[in-house]
Amino acid sequence: MATMTNEDLLAYFCMHYRENFLPLLRKLRLTQEESLSPFICFLQKRRQARQIQEALEVKEEEFKKRMQVLSCRWRDLQAKGAQLKTYMEKSERFLKENDKIRVRVLKRVSTEREGKMQKQSELWRAKRELEALKNEHQKLRNKVQKYSIFKKYLEDVVEISRFEKIQEVVWRYRMLMKTHNNQVRSQQAQKDMSEQAKVLLDQYIAEKEAEMLQYKTELVQLQPCLEQVQSDVLPWEACLADIQNSADMQTLKLATIKLAISNIFQCMNMQLKANLDVPVDDSHRQLNMIQRFIEDLRDIAMEPKQDDTQNQRQASTPTEL
């Protein structure tokens, strides 16, 4: 709010400067060109400056009052905006609740409609099942009437046999038929298994014969290769023996070199009277330190020669002069 007030104040004063003060300054410039005394000019300028100051004070007071009115309006607008925001939030909550209620009602109506349709479909299915059962009952009734003559036949069979009831005869018949069918299926399964085993045995024999023939052919083909390899092994064995002898010699030389490096390093260590923390088996690091020590000795040996050369140059300079 303070930043906005300063900007408005600056714009207001710029506008009044253009509208009121520039014409006054132009008039002052015209009055200076006239032939007036300096004192009169000073009084006129002082009076004009006082008028300008008074006009500025009046304008500033008016601007302050106007800014107060604007700030009051701004606070009212903020309050109204907060009220409007609260009202909008309440409206949004109310609309969301209405949407939720509408969705629940639609879901309930949809569920009831689906339940009604499902019940209607179940009713139609029950009617169809009832009609089918009626048809089945009629068929069975016709079949009973058709096979009623066999009942009389079975009753006669029971009278002349050892069975007491017709049901026992039926059970016996069913058991015999079941046993017969099981035997037929078992014989057929054994026959199928024997035929399948015979086919598999023939395939296995044929495969093994083919493999044996292939192995024999490969054996005949590999025999010359074996002889050639056996003849080539002898030179390579001699070469391997030479390589092993050379490796042994190189190993012995390497051990001798490592021992020499270790001895030189120990002498250097004793010469420097320093306990250098270097592992005994780290020959590479010992050799680097020995090389560094030799370079340091070479630098030390070169320093006296350089000093003598400088002394000779200094001694020859006065003679030349």
Domain of 281 in residue numbering reads as: 238-304
Query: Quick check: is 36 in a domain?
Result: yes
Query: Quick check: is 153 in a domain?
Result: no
52 within 8 A of 24, measured Cβ to Cβ: yes
- Tokens 């408005």 locate to 8
Query: Quick check: is 98 in a domain?
Result: yes
Query: Quick check: is 93 in a domain?
Result: yes
Query: Quick check: is 67 in a domain?
Result: yes
In this prediction, residue 313 has a pLDDT band, given cuts at 50, 70 and 90, of low
Higher pLDDT, 175 or 230: 175
The pTM score is 0.27
CA torsion sign, 206 to 208 to 209 to 211?
Answer: positive
How long is the chain? Answer: 321
Domain-ending residue, one of 83, 105, 127:
105
Average pLDDT of the residues in 24-29: 63
Q: Round to whole Å and give the CA distance between 151 and 170.
A: 11
Query: Quick check: is 138 in a domain?
Result: no
Average pLDDT of the residues in 17-29: 65
Question: Residue 318 is encoded by which pair of tokens?
Answer: 């006065």
318: pLDDT strictly greater than 50: no
26 within 8 A of 88, measured Cβ to Cβ: no
Query: Quick check: is 114 in a domain?
Result: no
Q: What is the pLDDT of residues 190-243, one digit of tens each?
A: 888 888 888 899 898 999 898 889 988 888 888 888 888 878 877 888 888 888
Query: Quick check: is 180 in a domain?
Result: no
What share of the chain in percent tops pLDDT 90?
A: 1
HEC profile of 223-273:
HHHHHHHHHHHHHHHHHHHHHHHHHHHHHHHHHHHHHHHHHHHHHHHHHHC
Number of domains composing the chain: 2
